[in-house]
Structure 1
């Protein structure tokens, strides 16, 4: 279905090549589209909030996977898997390009794409090369003639630089959904005028840990005890924890596949029979049967957001089990996410060590930067250094726009 939608929306110059490369998938997709139409299902792709709404109406029709960009550097991708990722990325880029051109009233052929320092930490530069190749191929396919990349923390730093009046060493910490990236940058009015900033980028560090990991960990340690995690079997042994970790791993296709397998369903049914508190494990089976992983992790995410303004949050999960609610608080969030916080501290220290200098200021951006727990943690790490919290969601985009204007000039970039 993705292949067929993409074929229809490609520039005419690309359609012939795409048809030759994806002939079998296009034919198979045509058959599937006819079956969907006969069954009364929509045959168009949806994006953004509409796509999420459609998924929530029929969660048993597929998996919810968050931060797909972080998968582009995954190890062991087969050629057909890489093609699928490229098609998904191209469809998303095509949609963004179409919306942009409609808003501007003209065509757009140049783009700057934000990228994490490392898409995935397991294979380093090989993973980065694979991811950049997928992104570049997808962008060219949908009609971008000029494609450039910029590190996301560097882009965020460019936006902060616009307000500086003197040369400053800035440690930019960009905590995204799927990755955290740190860059030590030399910034200031003189530096901002330079067309090549390579000499000002003093160091980079990055790893695949971000806001999604905070949500997943909070769901596991804050919510899953009410589903039987840490409870006991009649034999006196603890209930195996593997299914709980798989249940909330909405950033891991393999784990989600294992959790929703028939074999795991049989395992959970057996554990219910063996459990001291079978009513708790029955809730996990409900999640498994109805594909409610996203529901649980989203409850943790919304609680994390709510805990920005309050110290406690009551989570209503009565749609999973009548009368079920879980109380979450800031201290529990800090305790649950101890490992993620320490990973971010290690990335910051790595960037400082590489640069061989201390920052004059720490600039933090990304949605998770709003959390008082994170702010308190950062203050502990940098007790004598000013910490500036930037636009939580707009710093990177604004910085990429500044860089596009610099390298392309005001014109066709998107």
Structure 2
């Protein structure tokens, strides 16, 4: 069986063709998308799970040989924590969030691992671990889909951003695609192709057009914003060679996660002392606060979790004019609640797409701890990443050398009226249409899979 696989930064989705129709597979409850999260009782149990789920024997043998040290540590963790072979050790999607919220300091939680792919300066063991995280997630999603469909999935087209990272894009993209390919093979896909995510989103939209249009496709994903200018419609959809229809594309590592980080920093970190002062009247240093919420940056999180940062916070508690705020910050760090805070910011962003004032409750930190965020305040706090998104849109229009007839928006953050208003002000009075914010990329990848594997 053939599928389109949207391995997204924030969510994953998988589509298959049923006759001439594309169907998104139910992955969790009634949901056709699964949050890109995993919670493990121990980090090395992720690697162990991948090895156990590789079906092809030669591939399994090679994997076990390459991960011998991690697999030995996994066995030690099972012994020390008294984890039985039949115990559930990995949790995915919403279940992973639930486990993390309940036991943040006890297990190993990963959110949006796609954000880390293509990072510079990664050692071999880091790359191997990212391969294992991605493979574990792909194995899980493929197994869920096959259970629903009652059939093995062998071929897939996986979505990819235009650029995974901003620095040394060519090497970054090569490394990221190698990780995705290795993970996909270990998940059991026999053939893997890739397609730009904004083009995939456009293919899904094209099937609904009744006349030809030049469309600016804007895909604001969790980790990247990707734009494509595409000629599409009844005259183009029947063509096998679409290379001349794609007039330009841009992409950068700025997406919904960056908006969440800005919201968390500007609106939630002040509860932990970010905007307070020292006894000498100087402002509180802010870098440690940004490190706490920059959950899509391995080095930032490593720095925040370091002993050096802990010592810095302890010293600032003594020097602070409001030491209780710093004590709250220290407690949050010790209990590893920073991912929960960024989740609160994401929930606020989603809520403020519908309402103009949202109350954030943080009882998990301290009884009665809360704050309110207005849509207007949110708009101001996300200005820097939003400006970068708008630059990508204007750049692809310049590449194409013409204005679009309409703008097609997809991706979770594309629902925000703040973003839509900014686009209209920047690009002009061009119709803006919505796609399935969580399923259009998977649907387009499925359409393409039927072409490349037919």
**Alpha-carbon distance change, 245 to 63 in structure 1, aligned in 2, over 3 angstroms:** farther
Alignment match of 1:162 (pick from 207, 212, 236): 207
**Alpha-carbon distance change, 290 to 144 in structure 1, aligned in 2, over 3 angstroms:** same
In 1, distance between residues paired with 2:240 and 2:194?
15
The alignment yields a C-alpha RMSD, in angstroms, of 1.9
Counterpart of 1:9 in structure 2 is: 53
Counterpart of 1:412 in structure 2 is: none
TM-score, normalised with respect to structure 1: 0.94
Counterpart of 1:385 in structure 2 is: 430
Question: Superposition pairs for residues 288-299 of structure 1, below 5 Å?
Answer: 288-299=333-344
Counterpart of 1:245 in structure 2 is: 290
Partners of 2:116 and 2:298 within 8 A in 1 = no
**Alpha-carbon distance change, 225 to 44 in structure 1, aligned in 2, over 3 angstroms:** closer
1:372 is the counterpart of 2:410: no
Q: Secondary structure at the match of 2:165?
A: coil
TM-score, normalised with respect to structure 2: 0.86
**Alpha-carbon distance change, 27 to 233 in structure 1, aligned in 2, over 3 angstroms:** closer
**Alpha-carbon distance change, 44 to 232 in structure 1, aligned in 2, over 3 angstroms:** closer
**Alpha-carbon distance change, 60 to 305 in structure 1, aligned in 2, over 3 angstroms:** same
Partners of 1:66 and 1:212 within 8 A in 2 = no
Counterpart of 1:112 in structure 2 is: 157
Q: Secondary structure at the match of 1:236?
A: coil
Counterpart of 2:133 in structure 1 is: 88
In 2, distance between residues paired with 1:385 and 1:19?
55
Counterpart of 1:177 in structure 2 is: 222
Partners of 1:64 and 1:250 within 8 A in 2 = no
Partners of 1:65 and 1:253 within 8 A in 2 = no
Partners of 1:179 and 1:206 within 8 A in 2 = yes
1:47 is the counterpart of 2:92: yes
Q: Secondary structure at the match of 1:315?
A: strand
Counterpart of 1:61 in structure 2 is: 106
Q: Secondary structure at the match of 1:254?
A: helix
1:394 is the counterpart of 2:439: yes
- CA shift at 1:195, angstroms? 2.2
**Alpha-carbon distance change, 324 to 101 in structure 1, aligned in 2, over 3 angstroms:** closer
Q: Which runs of 5+ in 1 are unaligned?
A: 410-414
Counterpart of 1:206 in structure 2 is: 251
Q: Which has the higher strand share?
A: 2
- Matched pairs, number: 409
Alignment match of 1:259 (pick from 298, 304, 324): 304
Counterpart of 2:235 in structure 1 is: 190
Alignment match of 2:196 (pick from 148, 151, 154): 151
